[in-house]
Amino acid sequence: MEKVNIVLTGFMGTGKTTVGKLLAQQLGFEFMDTDVLIEERAGKTIPEIFEQMGEAAFRQMEADLARELADRQGVVISTGGRMMLDPDNAAALTSTGRVFCLVATPEEILKRVTQDDDHERPLLAVADPMKRIVDLMQEREDDYGRFPQMQTSQKSPDVVSKNLIGILQANPDLRVPISASMASYEFIVGGGILPFVSHLGGIVGPMAIVTDTNIGPRYAKSCGAVDIVIQVSPGQQHKTLETVQQISEQLVEQGFDRSGTIVGLGGSVISGLAGFVAATYMRGVDLVHCPTSLLAMIDTSIGGKVGINLPQGKNLIGAFKQPKAVIADVATLQSLSPNEFAYGMAEVIKHGLIGGGELFESIKNGSWTWEAWPQQPPAAVLQDLVAQAIQVKIQIVQEDPFEEGRRAVLNLGHTFAHAIEHASDHTVSHGEAVAMGLVAASNLSARQGYCPKHLQPTIETVLANAGLPCRIPASISSAEILTAIQRDKKRRGERLRVILLRDVGDIFVAENVPLAAIQATLTALRTPA
Ligand SMILES: NC(=O)c1ccc[n+]([C@@H]2O[C@H](COP(=O)([O-])OP(=O)(O)OC[C@H]3O[C@@H](n4cnc5c(N)ncnc54)[C@H](O)[C@@H]3O)[C@@H](O)[C@H]2O)c1
Ligand SMILES: [Zn+2]
């Protein structure tokens, strides 16, 4: 690995020193703590420097040190709490180093600093230290928010260090070209690439980020110089015309015009919303997708479909809008909840089954399983997974840009999935339903003699390793699922069209599948695994 410096910043108690030392050890780098270095050189403690020489003198020492360290190579630098908040220091250290801001919840910070006897924390010598931590974090949120964040809560320093190494080892610049009707652009996948969005996306004019209130506070500031940030409420229920109107009005109020680019920073809901606004605002402005959920990375951000929901149904209003670039930073997946991560894995596994070859093998043989949570697969592994999964979709979308035939295979497992979601009154999530749907598709394929019987248990193991369910809950009636399937297919007959498998990588559209076989599969999947 290239010997750039690694700079850790963040609030007290986020583990800059402990993680920094481990990281240096694991990378064979030197470790330096700027506070310790300043104390050694001055022959005084920091409180003594403040008292005898004044804060300005201390800040000058930090500035000199920042310039000095920027000239070094292969050093992990743990910085004093405020050092990187000075723009000149930050500029010097980022010129030769990758900066990460370690973050933790206030509860975890309080726990860690009260357990740490080595440091005096004068800032917290107050009646209500918890309130003090929350206030200070809020005060510094904007400043720290400029750097890529690494969550450390509920992770051991070793796990944090390994997560960081994963991000560092991820190829920062893996590019997959996509050519769509009338457009060609790149899908760029890397670790820690959000700060380079404007450069990677070729954005020249003003940049307006559209995001939700879960993602915006974490990542909007990481995207470099942003002119406008619009945050909407998270969730499918807000993928509406009303939200489109809110976003558009805010853009008008802030003087955003056709020279600008809309950056959709978020999951599938944001891809749909930001894409729809970009397709319609002033008859269309440039769009860059920055997907932050696994599902949005490997599915929703490719294919150019953007849309919003009506009370009568999902995605009933929409457009085809190709982005100028898709920039997927796998480091953002760190903050995805375990469930959302697993739901994304259901579609990655679906892509693996469709594409076959290396992707399915790497998921099947990968060392990571659900039990390892809260440790996600290393960023380098995630980056490969995303790169391979999108290639499956890109290839199929390019073969069939207007959804006339081949693209149907992308619906593997979805006939069952949509019906299960519906029959469960949406208590089963889309990702869980897709997992059950994939098992059902393999069961039905074997039942009809298309694929070997051992395929189903193989698929089940892969799904279970990703934390996904393989059986339909007994509380959902088979009759209702069957009715929903028939309604979906707009067919009342005894035979239906379903996407089935001959093998991994050999997916086809089966016509005339008997309803009785589908019923038998539903019954089989209700028996406990
Ligand atoms: N029919 C299909 O095959 C299909 C395809 C794509 C999407 N969908 C729909 O999309 C939805 C799921 O997609 P999604 O997960 O991308 O949706 P989403 O945008 O709703 O994201 C899910 C949640 O995760 C949060 N989130 C996203 N990225 C995060 C991050 N990096 N850190 C912390 N929180 C983050 C979001 O704020 C949101 O609360 C489902 O409702 C599904 O039905 C369906
Ligand atoms: Zn899906």
Q: Are 100 and 148 in contact (CB under 8 A)?
A: yes
When the pLDDT of each residue in the chain is averaged and rounded to a whole number, the result is 89
Q: Between 338-355 and 357-365, two packed helices, what is the crossing angle to 10 degrees?
A: 140
269: Cβ below 6 Å to ligand 1?
A: yes
Report the atom number in ligand 1 closest to the C-alpha of 344. Answer: 15
Does 420 score more than 50 pLDDT? yes
- The C-alpha atoms of residue 129 and residue 131 are separated, in whole angstroms, by 5
Q: What are the tens digits of pLDDT across the range 2-21? A: 557 899 999 988 999 999 99
- Give the type of residue at 463: L
Report CA-CA distances (Å) from 463 to 340, 358, 410.
14, 17, 18
- The C-alpha atoms of residue 524 and residue 453 are separated, in whole angstroms, by 13
Q: Are 412 and 464 in contact (CB under 8 A)?
A: no
- Residue 190 binned pLDDT confidence (cut-offs 50, 70, 90): confident
480: Cβ below 6 Å to ligand 1?
A: no
Tokens coding 432:
């869980």
Give residue 43's region: left, alpha or beta (phi > 0; psi -120 to 50): left
424: Cβ below 6 Å to ligand 1?
A: no
Does 179 score more than 80 pLDDT? no
For residue 97, give the nearest of 147, 58, 157 by alpha carbon.
Answer: 147
Q: Which of 167, 295, 390 to mutate to test the pocket of ligand 1 (most atoms within 8 A of CB)?
A: 295
Q: What are the tens digits of pLDDT across the range 323-365? A: 999 999 998 998 899 999 999 999 999 999 999 878 899 898 8
Beta-strand runs (E) in 254-303: 261-266, 286-291
The average pLDDT across 110-125 equals 74
Beta-strand runs (E) in 235-297: 261-266, 286-291
- H-run or E-run covering 525: helix 515-526
Distance 434 CA to ligand 2 centre (A): 6
Does 1 score more than 60 pLDDT? no
Q: Are 68 and 94 in contact (CB under 8 A)?
A: no
- Residue 68 binned pLDDT confidence (cut-offs 50, 70, 90): very high
User: What pLDDT is attached to residue 529?
Assistant: 47
Distance 294 CA to ligand 1 centre (A): 8
Q: What are the tens digits of pLDDT across the range 447-475? A: 999 999 999 999 999 999 999 999 999 99
Q: What are the tens digits of pLDDT across the range 498-527? A: 999 999 999 999 998 999 999 999 999 986
Does 155 score more than 80 pLDDT? yes
Distance 300 CA to ligand 2 centre (A): 9
Residue 520, Cβ neighbours under 10 Å: how many? Answer: 15
Report the atom number in ligand 1 closest to the C-alpha of 269. Answer: 19
User: What pLDDT is attached to residue 354?
Assistant: 96
Q: Are 284 and 290 in contact (CB under 8 A)?
A: no
CA angle 239, 300, 147 (to 5 degrees): 85
Q: Are 233 and 239 in contact (CB under 8 A)?
A: no
Does 171 score more than 60 pLDDT? no
Q: What are the tens digits of pLDDT across the range 385-411? A: 999 999 999 888 888 777 777 889 999
Distance 431 CA to ligand 2 centre (A): 7
Q: What's the whole-model pTM score?
A: 0.74
Residue 12 phi, psi (nearest 5): -60, 150
Q: Classify burial at 360, counting beta carbons within 10 Å of its beta carbon; exposed 0-12, middle 13-18, buried 19 or more.
A: buried
Residue 161 phi, psi (nearest 5): -60, -45
Cβ-proximal residues to 234 (8 Å cutoff; 6+ apart), any chain: 212, 213, 214, 215, 266, 267, 269
Report the atom number in ligand 1 closest to the C-alpha of 434. Answer: 3
Q: Which of 151, 167, 194, 214 to mutate to test the pocket of ligand 1 (most atoms within 8 A of CB)?
A: 214
- The C-alpha atoms of residue 206 and residue 307 are separated, in whole angstroms, by 24
- Give the type of residue at 61: M
- Residue 62 binned pLDDT confidence (cut-offs 50, 70, 90): very high
Q: What are the tens digits of pLDDT across the range 256-270? A: 999 999 999 999 999
Q: Are 443 and 463 in contact (CB under 8 A)?
A: no
